Amino acid sequence: MTSTFLPDKRTGPGAGAPPPAADRPTGRTRRRALHWLTAAGFQLPALVLFLGLVLLPMLFALYAAFFRWGGFGMPSDYIGGENFTRLFQDDVFLGDLWRCLVLVVLSLAFQLPFALAMAVLLNQRMRGRAVYRMLFFAPYVLSEAITGILFGMIFAPDDGFADQVLGRIGLDGLGGEWFADPSTVMATVFLVMTWKYFGFHMMLYLAGLQAVPRELTEAALIDGASAWQRFRNVTLPLLAPTLRISVFLAVIGSIQLFDLVWVTTAGGPDHHSETMAVTMFQYGFKRYQVGYASAISVVMFGISLVFALAYQRFVLRRDLEGATTTMRGDGK
Amino acid sequence: MGDPALSRRGFLAASAATGLGMTALTACGGDSDGGASGTTTIEWWNISTTEPSKTVWAALARKFEAQNPKVKVKIVQLENDAYKSKMTALTASGKLPDIFHTWGGGVLKQQVDAGLVENLTDRTKPWGDALLPVAREPYLFDDQAYGIPFDIGMIGFWYNKALFQKAGIAGPPTTWDGFLDAVRKLKAAKVTPLALAGKEKWPGMYYWAYLAMRTAGAEALQKAYDDRDFTGTPFVEAGEHLKELVALQPFQKGFLGAAYSSPTGQAAAVGNGKAAMELMGQWAPTVQADAGKGLGKDLGFFPFPAVEGGKGAIAEVFGGGGGHALRRGAPQEAVDFLKFFASEATDLELVKKTGVLPVVPAAESAIADPNIKAVQAQLKAATGFQLYLDQAYAPAVGQEVNDSVAALIAGSKSPGQVAQSITKTAKEEQ
């Protein structure tokens, strides 16, 4: 379907805008108008759904963020930017921002390198390679809620699997209160996140590694490059586009983290594992301060948007060259 | 995998769409067709979606219909949280069902102030006045009755008699100092004195609320809310007393992350004999047996102790129950139904089959469990009453109490800061 439109769209110099009708009142214009009509007809249902279920609610949340509103009826108590000033004076929300940053840094410093190491390892010829790949990817298939319940039981103080096992092998000192201790809760949450998501990043890297031509590594080998040099100077640069995408996904994932935290700790103890999404949920659906919750969601959206645009503009630029996301197709 | 930004947007959309959806709900109100001739249909909205109540209640409606051939009872059952949201929407639209479930307190007061609820004071004489006084309390405003109870309960300490004996504690403490002594003795006997679900916050709030009732008096919590001022000395003292308890480290290991009814939670810790006490409502024995083994004969109940020098008394209770209210202008048949539902025969059936506490004094004989009898005795002798804060206060204020008290227990807020945080949120709400 699309292939019939794309050449059309790109032929004329004024691509995008329909040509002036007075120019050539030929069959071609009529045919083109028909094409546009057909395209519009096919797009309409999706467009209506997108507008009604995505765009309008988003704009409404932006609107509601300027009101003191309990979530029922229409917002009427306009308070200007008060929700936002309150937000940036709220210790819990400032803490959310800090914890978000901590998670991003931890993900980039530990989770992704670990996933990369596993991918390189499992790219070797070895017995049972497929089994290992499947095992490491399996946690990703599990829902976040199930993961949360599972680890809530594993990390239950004393009675949980983790403390029991550590106790049996004489490492009681390493056990503790996990989710229940303000000083260890973030590390525990990160541990569970890594368990759940490293397999996904590993799969991305494995796919990327498949695309690295063997001739290049062989040539480097003949030139006398060590294993580390072959990895550092041949494999890694060729894997860079995959790495950039995986970093992007990890950062966005950290910004929007909700399910896992909600199920394991509900943000506690005493807000020590709360994320922006959890705070938003608390205010929106527990306290019914929907205006304030909307302000939180607007800030979350803003952070995601700024990051996504900046990342695409400065980091993904080369990878996206010629892709459809650039405007007007000239991609600078 | 899909586009993660999309789920991000979906989440945003959901947060705003809920608001829109609820607005849309207001369109469907509860109309009753007051058939001039023939049968009258009355709509009955309740939250008994679980067995055995669901079947028992439906059977009661059929029984009422059999006794009143010209009346049809249409039952609408909604799950607890769904019911709360739907009722908020209906209240905004100004149309309530003929008969609807209510917990009384602040929410019912709002509906009364909006002129949506029938005043039942005269229409339920004399049978309404004969019900258990403490059960009627949540539905009384200026001595006018706006609801009729069918259940009542309260919070108190549930304790393990065997563990108390092991620690050499003579009997349940009646003063706060005595209670702290008992905690020390249990600690000395290497028994975890208290189980607490820190993750869920509301069980911790019970301690502060009760202490505030004991230091400031039974009326003080409602008055402080009405005045939007919780900074009075007794409230700070309540926090200080709670701090004294927390300083003894009385809770189970990892209590800050513990849930209430999970297999590793508060109820299970008591039910499995790992902790000696919990502060919980009359439903505690059931949950202890469900999440853990249950204590059987070793389980005992005692009311929250009095605080020396406080204005409150040990006979004042913190609790709540369930009741029914009528929309303004509801037909006489709806009042008849309330009378039928509050009759001795019905209450006996409810107590026996659904495990609620009796509101008709004559139905007391149906209680078999000695602990529930103790709760009932305490309720009957109550000299003051405070409704659960999440029903008495606006949601934001109730949540702030939970949150601030949790911070006090975790050691990050002082008693004075707790009082100030709650006051600040209460002021914002109006």
Note the pLDDT of residue A25.
Answer: 55
- How close does chain A come to B398, measured CA to CA in Å? 8
Q: List CB contacts of A300: < 8 A, sequence separation 6 or more.
A: A255, A256, A276, A277, A280, B8, B12
CB atoms within 10 A of CB A171: 11
Residue of B nearest to A177 (CA): B254
Q: Which chain A positions have a beta carbon within 8 Å of B200's beta carbon?
A: 266
Partner-chain contact B407 A253, CB within 8 Å: no
Average pLDDT of the segment spanning A25-33: 79
- A 158-197 residues with CB < 8 A to B: 158-160, 177-182, 185
CB atoms within 10 A of CB A295: 28
Domain boundaries, chain A: 83-322
Note the pLDDT of residue A265.
Answer: 92
Partner-chain contact B5 A304, CB within 8 Å: yes
- A 48-87 residues with CB < 8 A to B: 53-54, 57-58, 60-61, 64, 69, 71-74
Q: List CB contacts of B229: < 8 A, sequence separation 6 or more.
A: B423, B426
Note the pLDDT of residue B263.
Answer: 87
User: A1 is written with which tokens?
Assistant: 């379907």
pLDDT in tens, A224-236: 999 899 999 999 9
Upstream peptide bond of B52 is cis (omega within 30 degrees of 0): yes
Q: Which chain B positions have a beta carbon within 8 Å of A66's beta carbon?
A: none
pTM for this prediction = 0.82
Residue of A57, A256, A289 lying closest to B13 (CB–CB): A57
Partner-chain contact B4 A256, CB within 8 Å: yes
Average pLDDT of the segment spanning A156-164: 85
Residue of B nearest to A248 (CA): B4
Q: What is the pLDDT along chain B (430 residues), one digit of tens a residue?
A: 333 333 444 444 444 444 444 443 433 434 444 444 578 999 999 988 877 888 999 999 999 999 999 999 999 998 877 788 788 778 878 889 999 999 998 788 888 988 999 999 999 989 999 999 899 999 999 999 999 999 999 999 999 999 999 999 999 999 999 999 999 999 999 999 999 999 988 999 999 999 999 999 999 998 999 899 999 999 999 999 999 999 999 999 999 999 998 888 999 999 999 999 999 998 898 889 888 898 989 999 999 999 999 999 999 999 988 999 999 999 999 999 999 999 999 999 888 888 788 999 888 888 888 888 899 999 999 999 999 887 888 888 989 999 999 999 999 999 999 999 999 999 987 6
The CA distance from B3 to B6, in Å, is 5
HSE at residue B48, side-chain half, CA atoms within 13 A, is: 26
Report whether B225 contacts B209 (CB < 8 A).
no
Residue of A nearest to B87 (CA): A72
Which of B323, B317, B260, B321 is closest to B292 using CA atoms? B260
The CA distance from A299 to A284, in Å, is 14
pLDDT in tens, B329-364: 999 999 999 999 999 999 998 888 887 889 998 888
The CA distance from A303 to A104, in Å, is 13
Q: Which chain A positions have a beta carbon within 8 Å of B84's beta carbon?
A: none
The CA distance from A141 to A177, in Å, is 28
Q: Which chain B positions have a beta carbon within 8 Å of A158's beta carbon?
A: 253-254
Largest CA distance in chain A: 87
Dihedral class, residue A213 (left if φ above 0, else alpha if ψ from -120 to 50, else beta): beta
A163 compared with B237, residue with greater pLDDT: B237
The CATH architecture that domain A83-322 belongs to is Orthogonal Bundle (1.10)
Partner-chain contact B395 A57, CB within 8 Å: no
Partner-chain contact B12 A288, CB within 8 Å: no
User: A266 is written with which tokens?
Assistant: 């509900």
| pLDDT tier for residue A321 given thresholds of 50, 70 and 90 | low
- How close does chain A come to B253, measured CA to CA in Å? 7
Q: Which chain A positions have a beta carbon within 8 Å of B258's beta carbon?
A: 180
Pick the residue of B1, B6, B15 with the most A CBs within 10 A to test the interface with A by mutation.
B15
Report whether A87 contacts A93 (CB < 8 A).
yes
Q: List strand residue ranges (DSSP E) for A192-231, in order.
A: none
Partner-chain contact B23 A73, CB within 8 Å: yes
Note the pLDDT of residue B21.
Answer: 41
Residue of B9, B92, B257 lying closest to A72 (CB–CB): B92
Partner-chain contact A179 B89, CB within 8 Å: no
Note the pLDDT of residue A24.
Answer: 53
Q: List CB contacts of B177: < 8 A, sequence separation 6 or more.
A: B308
User: B51 is written with which tokens?
Assistant: 């067995």
The CA distance from A139 to A201, in Å, is 12
Note the pLDDT of residue B94.
Answer: 84
The CA distance from A197 to A250, in Å, is 9
The three-state secondary structure class of B244 is: helix
Note the pLDDT of residue A329.
Answer: 43
Residue of B10, B12, B410 lying closest to A61 (CB–CB): B12
pLDDT in tens, A110-153: 999 999 999 999 998 888 889 999 999 999 999 999 999 999 99
- How close does chain B come to A228, measured CA to CA in Å? 32
- A 186-245 residues with CB < 8 A to B: 200
Partner-chain contact A284 B15, CB within 8 Å: yes
Residue A152 sits at the chain B interface (C-beta within 8 Å): yes
Pick the residue of A72, A245, A303 with the most B CBs within 10 A to test the interface with B by mutation.
A72
Three-state secondary structure of B407-429: HHHHCCCCHHHHHHHHHHHHHHC
pLDDT in tens, A43-58: 999 999 999 999 999 9
Residue of A256, A265, A293 lying closest to B199 (CB–CB): A265
Note the pLDDT of residue A307.
Answer: 95
Size of chain B, expressed as the number of residues it contains: 430
Residue of A200, A271, A288 lying closest to B395 (CB–CB): A288
Which of A5, A84, A151 is closest to A291 using CA atoms? A84
pLDDT in tens, A249-284: 999 999 999 999 999 999 989 999 999 999 999 998
Note the pLDDT of residue B172.
Answer: 95
Residue of A nearest to B5 (CA): A252
- How close does chain B come to A127, measured CA to CA in Å? 29
Partner-chain contact B410 A270, CB within 8 Å: yes
Question: Count of A–B CB contacts within 8 Å?
Answer: 141
Residue of A nearest to B259 (CA): A265
Report whether A274 contacts A163 (CB < 8 A).
no
Instruction: Please tell me the least confidently modeled range out of A201-210, A322-331, B74-83, B208-217.
Output: A322-331
Upstream peptide bond of A57 is cis (omega within 30 degrees of 0): no
Partner-chain contact B16 A57, CB within 8 Å: yes
Reported ipTM: the value is 0.78
The CA distance from B241 to B208, in Å, is 9
Residue A312 sits at the chain B interface (C-beta within 8 Å): no
Residue of A nearest to B398 (CA): A287
Pick the residue of B8, B26, B409, B422 with the most A CBs within 10 A to test the interface with A by mutation.
B8
Could you tell me the domains of chain B?
30-153+320-387 (3.40.190.10), 155-318+389-428 (3.40.190.10)
Note the pLDDT of residue A23.
Answer: 52
Residue of B nearest to A178 (CA): B254
Which of A275, A328, A329, A284 is closest to A303 using CA atoms? A275
Upstream peptide bond of A157 is cis (omega within 30 degrees of 0): no
